[in-house]
Chains A and B, each alone.
Chain A
Amino acid sequence: MRIRGQISIKGIVQGVGFRPFVFKTAHELGIQGTVRNLGSEVLVLAQGTNFETFVHCLSQGTPLSRIDSVTVTDSDEPVPAGFVILMSAEGSLSGFIPADVATCDDCIRDIFTPGGRYEGYWATSCVNCGPRYSIICGLPYDRERTRMDEFPMCGACEDEYTDPASRRHHAQTIACATCGPKLSLLRTDGTSVPGDPLHTAASLLDNGAVVAIRGLGGFHIACTAEATGRLKGTLGRPEQPLAVMATKEEIERVAIISETERKCLTGPSHPIVVLVKKDREALKGISKLHTLGCMLPYTALHHLLFRYLSQPMLVMTSANPPGYPMITNTHEACERLKGHVDYILTHNRVIQNRCDDSVVRDGKILRLSRGLAPKRERRDLGNACILGIGPELNANISIYKEGYCITSPHVGNVRNPATLAYLQETVERTACLLGAKYDVIAHDLHPQFLSTRYAHELAEETGATLMPVQHHKAHIAAATTSPCIGIAIDGVGYGEDGTVWGGEIFAGAVPDLTRVGHLEPVMMPGGDLATRYPERMLYGILPKEETAALLRARGWDATALGVLEKQVERRFNVTITSSTGRILDAAAALLGVCRERTFDGEPAQVLETTAVTGTPTLWDREFTQENERTILSTSSLLREAFSRMKNERPADIAASFQQTLATGIAEIAVMAAEEKGYKKVALSGGVAYNHAIESTIRKTIVASGNEYILNTNYPLGDGCISYGQCVWAGTTLKQVRK
């Protein structure tokens, strides 16, 4: 029986209370030795009769840790009398950047314990919770490499920090009202409002004020449900659904919550969970959809604020124009939110790394961000270090290095200088934290994407090799590398034939995917203009007099309609697309439920909401063959919908349309699987968030006896592209080497 040795534990072992856990376990088992942080691993030197039990206990880890490997080797190093936590050493930085963690139940108890050391303190945290990524400047994760370094511990905090029996033993974020960061409530001219910031903010909010609140990874703008109209007006986003933060009881009251959703809501990351409203007509001012994004208070500040508020719910939206990075610093908040908010509740702890709220729906990640990212995936993609620079919209970045792929939090729509700068910053910071020097930069095939341009600049600067990856193939690569049929359904992506893809079925194994089917290529009159005005898309697909008559009846200007007709007839500035999103847009336009897109995915989302109360019937599907590809006719589908408008409810048509489209797509996949001899079908792309469409595809695939693959560890939308690009590049390089 072994009684001494060196134990190396690799995995997510930083910022998760691992060293204190080792210490505590050693004490309990009478083990002598040391523990130290090496960046991506924890190294334990141990000696004692319970050595093997000790190793077993360590491999169980803490609630937040994830252990990849535990190896025990011989060691002659002298062991101290007790058990000691040593200073961190710089290890290889191949590992892990800890994500922010929602305030734990113990800390919540602390802030509400009368007379306790943490009573009412807004930044209370412990080894199990608190800010991590948002304050981290370097690895390994220790206080001196975080923004907490600016707040030297007071005696009482120091005592807890060094007390092995304390929950804050080696808690890097430990702080109290005496020594820690402080809150203030400001007017937008920067002057402070007298009184206790939290109490005052709560009563202002209760009275209808719009308040910017500095959270973990950036500013929110908050107000009560009644004040939503004012908030939306000032943001200029009247149609966009906003998320809410509310007490558990209030969320229970307004939304249907499944067991999985409850777990997700209350889990360590506390994301926004998109829930189905109990009453579809309720809270329409916040979300006109049948769903509502809900989150629980996730910092001590939020918990205290909700204690002082008389309202159980606040509308909470990121403080930024859509597609722009969230505001993180107080000065900028005062400047940019002037005229939009009444007050600013802020603190003096620097947000080192911006991090938006994560969004989850139906167990699918809509936005990979706070608490979930930086996300680390253990995966062998070869020896090269790869940067996946992502697409253009809903972008993030991924870096692969030595067996791990790290994906950054949500960056946004890389269409403006501010977000491009944020993308660049994210690349630089992540590479620096990981000590990554990439050999390969994988980027989207789209020649005009700003991320593509940036990839070219970076390659020139660093000498890295560029590898363009077709958008939808990256979607499949993010889902699986097994031989399979891959379905990618989304808005638009640049296709290999220069047209715009978005309803694609591939066969093969990454990186050898063949396009075996797709939706019918249809016209997008005016390119992106047809995305903004879905009725243009409708006319592009059904360029008939009856369509024109419908638009005329809806009040289309005669000149505009004449130009549209001419544009389609002459194919002038008309793009050809097989996008699924645009077909859904056209259906929404046909039913008259969405005529202008004012936020990402609006027409398709409104269509989904319309369909919820409908009873679907499966219409006929029409397939054609071209160059050995199977094509689903979407124009005939839309024609069918058109013909039913006289006699059927929009809800039923919407439901049937979605079901028929989804069935048709799945049928192409099933046929291809049979023909090519594959047994698996993978699905990716933003349209897969549509509950009805995804479940129809799933049922059809499963009923055909195929295995169904949906990678719910990453977003299904474009938040998986940077990861898919890394997988694609790594797999390609491996194949080349063979």
Chain B
Amino acid sequence: MKVNLMHGAGGAVFSELLGETLTKYTHNNAGGIGLEALDDGAVIPFGGQNLVFTTDSHVVKPLFFPGGDIGRIAVSGTVNDLAMMGARPIALSCAMIIEEGFDIDVLKKIVASMDEALGECGAAIVTGDTKVLERGAIDGIAINTAGVGVAEKPVRDCSLVPGDVIIVSGTIGDHGMAIMTHREGFDLGEQIRSDVAPLWPLVEAALAAGDIHAMKDPTRGGFSNAINEMAEKSGVQVRIKEESLPIRRSVKSASDLLGINPLDVANEGKVVMGVAPEDADAILAAIRSHPLGKDAAIIGVVKEGTSVILETSIGGERFIEAPIGDPVPRVC
């Protein structure tokens, strides 16, 4: 069997590849939380502290889009993975693979954008590597970043407990919809902007406000994938109220016109968390006090059971399923 594009789309097909091939290391844990957990990052206890370590490679078409660019994603992606573990980002590495003929001015813009994102979360790029490949061997540029951070108390994605309240830090589906509509040239009247941003300051405020049991950033596979992973790994049921889900009007209308579920597309500046019910209001207030979290909302609760269920506004129930590759029509 060969790797195909579906494998890269996240979701169930990707999980299969992951389970059967990419996590078959026998040396997979450095003493804390390792690769086996498939969490946002690894935890390495060191000198009485919890080091958190993560890496991410970034490719995106187009390189610049409303609300961001590849450089901002490259920093935010890694910083957010650290933040999802409850870690303050300290230092990042940056490896760039560049296609022959790539415009240096564009490269400058990317670096400047990365620098700006670093400034927003107090991290630094401290080491790097650059490779140039011949024309056609790569499409423009790919950026890998790795990052280390320190967590006082690491937060997992598998520790939801019945009774928890689910909070999302803002509107869902912005990044994926922005990229798609911009790339394909859809004129929707109102432009959708990506939400790409480093989340540590927001997460730091939330952590200070109460007890966060689990966190995940709904990137690839969108909110659907993230919430399903959290529910499955925690062995609980999550019930989401449809009318509480913050979705921008422009994203909703794009979704209605294109047949794309906004819950299934990537976000680059959002966090989904399960928190102790008594702390929910305080945490929500802390998140909302941050500019990136002004649309934050309580969207659901954790129950005993399995799967993620959406309670629709008309009193029905639907499963929220992790997307597998492309949606296939099923209405007869």
Contacts and interface: CB of A to CB of B under 8 A. Distances in A.
Partners in one complex: yes
Interface of A: 236, 321, 324, 391-394, 415-418, 420, 446-450, 490-494, 498, 500, 524-532, 559-560, 562-564, 566-567, 570, 572-573, 575, 577, 581, 600, 686, 717-718
19 contacts: A391-B332, A417-B309, A417-B319, A418-B317, A448-B321, A448-B327, A450-B319, A492-B330, A494-B328, A526-B258, A527-B329, A529-B259, A530-B329, A559-B189, A563-B187, A566-B185, A567-B258, A717-B332, A718-B332
Contacts of B315: 321
A582 B327 CA distance: 18
B259 A526 contact: yes
A418 B315 CA distance: 12
Given A570-B184, A573-B260, A573-B327, 17 more contacts: A324-B316, A391-B332, A417-B317, A448-B327, A450-B319, A491-B331, A491-B332, A492-B330, A494-B328, A500-B329, A530-B259, A563-B186, A563-B257, A563-B258, A566-B184, A572-B258, A577-B329
B307 A417 contact: yes
Interface centre among B317, B327, B330 (most CB of A within 10 A): B330
Contacts of A524: 329
Contacts of A532: 331
B188 A559 contact: yes
Contacts of A581: 332
A531 B329 CA distance: 9
Q: 6 closest Cβ contacts across the A-B interface?
A: A526-B259, A491-B332, A529-B259, A531-B331, A393-B332, A563-B257
Nearest to B181: A563
Nearest to A601: B332
A529 B253 CA distance: 13
Nearest to A536: B259
Most A-side CB within 10 Å, residue of B186, B314, B318:
B186
A395 to B, nearest CB: 10
Contacts of A527: 259, 327-329
A559 B188 CA distance: 6
A529 B185 CA distance: 20
* Interface SS of A by simple majority: mixed
Nearest to A419: B317
Contacts of B189: 559
B324 interface: yes
A416 B319 contact: yes
Interface in B290-332: 307, 309, 314-319, 321, 324, 326-332
A696 to B, nearest CB: 22
Nearest to B327: A527
Contacts of B328: 446-448, 494, 498, 500, 527, 575
B192 to A, nearest CB: 13
- Interface class of chain B by DSSP: loop
Contact of A448 (B180, B184, B188, B324): B324
Contacts of A415: 318-319
Contacts of B309: 417
Contacts of B185: 566, 570
A563 B188 contact: yes
A492 B257 contact: no
Contact of B317 (A416, A448, A564, A572): A416
Nearest to B257: A563
A236 B316 contact: no
By CB atoms of chain A within 10 A, which of B180, B185, B257, B326 has the most?
B257
Interface in B245-298: 254, 256-260
From A417, A447, A525, A581, name the one whose CB has the most chain B CB atoms within 10 angstroms: A417
A686 B329 contact: no
Contacts of A450: 319
Given A324-B316, A416-B318, A447-B324, A525 B332 contact: no
Interface in B104-132: none
A581 B260 CA distance: 22
Contacts of A418: 317
Given A559-B187, A572-B184, A490 B329 contact: no
A492 B331 CA distance: 7
A26 B260 CA distance: 70
Interface in B191-222: none
A112 to B, nearest CB: 41
Contacts of B321: 448
Contacts of A491: 331-332
Nearest to A450: B319
B258 A573 contact: yes
Contacts of B187: 559, 562-563, 566
Nearest to A574: B259
Nearest to A495: B328
A345 to B, nearest CB: 23
B302 to A, nearest CB: 16
Nearest to A417: B317
A525 B321 CA distance: 22
- Most chain A CB within a 10 A radius of its CB, from B254, B256, B314, B328: B328
A560 B327 CA distance: 21
Given A450-B319, A566-B185, A686 B332 contact: yes
Nearest to A415: B318
A450 B317 CA distance: 14
A394 B331 CA distance: 11
A531 B259 CA distance: 11
Contact of A394 (B188, B260, B307, B332): B332
Contacts of A448: 321, 324, 327-328, 330
Nearest to B239: A417
A600 B189 CA distance: 33
Contacts of B307: 417
